[in-house]
Amino acid sequence: MADNVIVTGSRISEPSRAASSGLQAKTAERAAAIDPAYVSFLSRLQTAVRANDHRAVIEMIAFPLRVTSGGTTRLYPDAQSVERDFDRIFTPRLKRSILNQRADRLAIRGGAVMVGNGELQLSATPGSVRIEAVRP
């Protein structure tokens, strides 16, 4: 019997303005929840990535840096180890993600602030923000 059902049209209601303004409110709420230190940090990080300034990027890392790629996690204990593998850690895809990130769209998951789709995890220590983990 189900094969005999014919749908000739349907009526879809216009999206309500209340739902749209609710989404705008959530976006504004999320932007307000982001600590200004993260906004400043993101700006400095984007400047360093745009200039391909390895030293400046490395100075923004909290060591040991946790890098997860291909199902394995590796800890980088210091700046020298990150410098050695810099291009493997900060891939073109990760750099694009950093450069395309808008401060008002930083994600907060489980108390951590994420860049992109979680490729970069930031943490706040008293007085500074640092890169804590990378998923290139």
**For residue range 86-107, what is the model confidence (pLDDT) as tens digits?**
999 999 999 999 999 999 999 9
* CA–CA distances in Å: residue 81 to residues 40, 53, 73, 132: 26, 16, 15, 15
pLDDT at residue 67 in the model:
98
Task: Provide the sign of the torsion angle of the four alpha carbons 66, 67, 69, 73, taken in this order.
Answer: negative
pLDDT at residue 3 in the model:
61
pLDDT at residue 109 in the model:
84
CATH class held by domain 35-134: alpha beta
pTM as predicted? 0.75
pLDDT at residue 26 in the model:
47
Q: Identify whether the C-beta of residue 117 lies closer than 8 Å to the C-beta of residue 97.
A: yes
Q: Identify whether the C-beta of residue 101 lies closer than 8 Å to the C-beta of residue 115.
A: yes
Q: Are strands 128-134 and 61-69 parallel, antiparallel or unpaired?
A: parallel
Q: Which residues of the chain have pLDDT under 50?
A: 12, 14-29, 31-32
